[in-house]
Chains A and B, each alone.
Chain A
Amino acid sequence: GQQVMQIPQYQHVQEGEDFTTYCNSSTTLSNIQWYKQRPGGHPVFLIQLVKSGEVKKQKRLTFQFGEAKKNSSLHITATQTTDVGTYFCAGPGDGGFKTIFGAGTRLFVKA
């Protein structure tokens, strides 16, 4: 079945270092979304990418959708302790009703 995979599973960084998480889908996606879940919280929508090769920025966060629309990345520049949490990518499932989530990348930031 359709799968969305993320690497790495965990990442420990020193505050101020950069961070990147990668997402790969087994199928071509019409769009990809990114969510952030703080420890003890619920997933919160960050952004959606739709176009092949699209790049979007939100302050220190840069999101990219691959040319083949099967992969995506999230890059955080100069991490801060407020960036701690798990970042999930997600895409439309078969049939278009459901959204399939990756297992997430958990980011730890040491002050």
Chain B
Amino acid sequence: DTGVSQDPRHKITKRGQNVTFRCDPISEHNRLYWYRQTLGQGPEFLTYFQNEAQLEKSRLLSDRFSAERPKGSFSTLEIQRTEQGDSAMYLCASSPMGGTSGNTIYFGEGSWLTVV
């Protein structure tokens, strides 16, 4: 399968614990995004990488959230000191660089987080 891969698919954690999600984008895609989605809402932008550079981070993202893409390939999203309000599906997406095709983003299947 050459799509966007996310791991784990489901995570249940106790409030206050740290969690980390991993994303492997489509191999030739330079751009990588993290989104968050809650029930009944559209995907909400969290952060964007172009290769290994984090070029944009949502103002909605608290300092408990950090994302990395160390070698411009896979990415991790860490949430520290989780809160119940962090419960959501965390979607990773990637897109190719340049041209009109660069506007199309390809989502992974998402990582469901439940904070209890």
A positions within 8 Å CB-CB of B: 31, 33, 41-45, 48, 50, 88, 90, 92-93, 95, 97-104, 106
Q: Is there a chain A Cβ closer than 8 Å to B109's Cβ?
A: yes
Measured CB to CB, the closest approach of chain B to A83, in angstroms, equals 18
Q: A31-B100, A98-B33 are in contact. Are A42 and B45 (CB under 8 A)?
A: no
> Given A48-B104, A99-B105, are A42 and B48 also a contact pair (CB < 8 Å)?
no
A45 to B56, CA, bound (A): 22
Q: Is A101 a contact of B110 with CB atoms below 8 Å?
A: no
Q: CA–CA, A100 to B43, complex, Å?
A: 8
Q: Which of B40, B56, B104, B108 is A33 in contact with, Cβ under 8 Å?
A: B104
- Residue pair A45, B100 in contact (C-beta under 8 Å): no
Q: A99-B33, A106-B40 are in contact. List 18 more A-B contacts (CB 8 A).
A: A31-B103, A33-B103, A42-B108, A42-B110, A43-B91, A43-B107, A44-B107, A48-B104, A90-B42, A92-B103, A97-B48, A97-B50, A97-B56, A98-B48, A101-B43, A103-B41, A103-B42, A104-B42
Q: Which B42-60 residues have a C-beta within 8 angstroms of A?
A: 42-45, 48, 50, 55-56, 58
State whether the Cβ of B65 lies closer than 8 Å to any Cβ in chain A: no
Q: Min CB distance, B5 to chain A, in Å?
A: 12
CB-CB under 8 A for A88 and B42, given A42-B109, A97-B56: yes
Q: Assess the B91–A42 pair: CB atoms within 8 A.
A: yes
Give which listed residue, A43, A95, A99, A104, contacts B103 with CB less than 8 A: A99
Q: Contact string, B94-111, partner A, CB cutoff 8 A, digits 1/0?
A: 000000100111111110
Shortest distance between the CB of B92 and any CB in chain A (Å):
10
**Chain B residues in 8 Å Cβ range of A90:** 42
Which chain A residues border B108 with CB–CB below 8 Å? 42
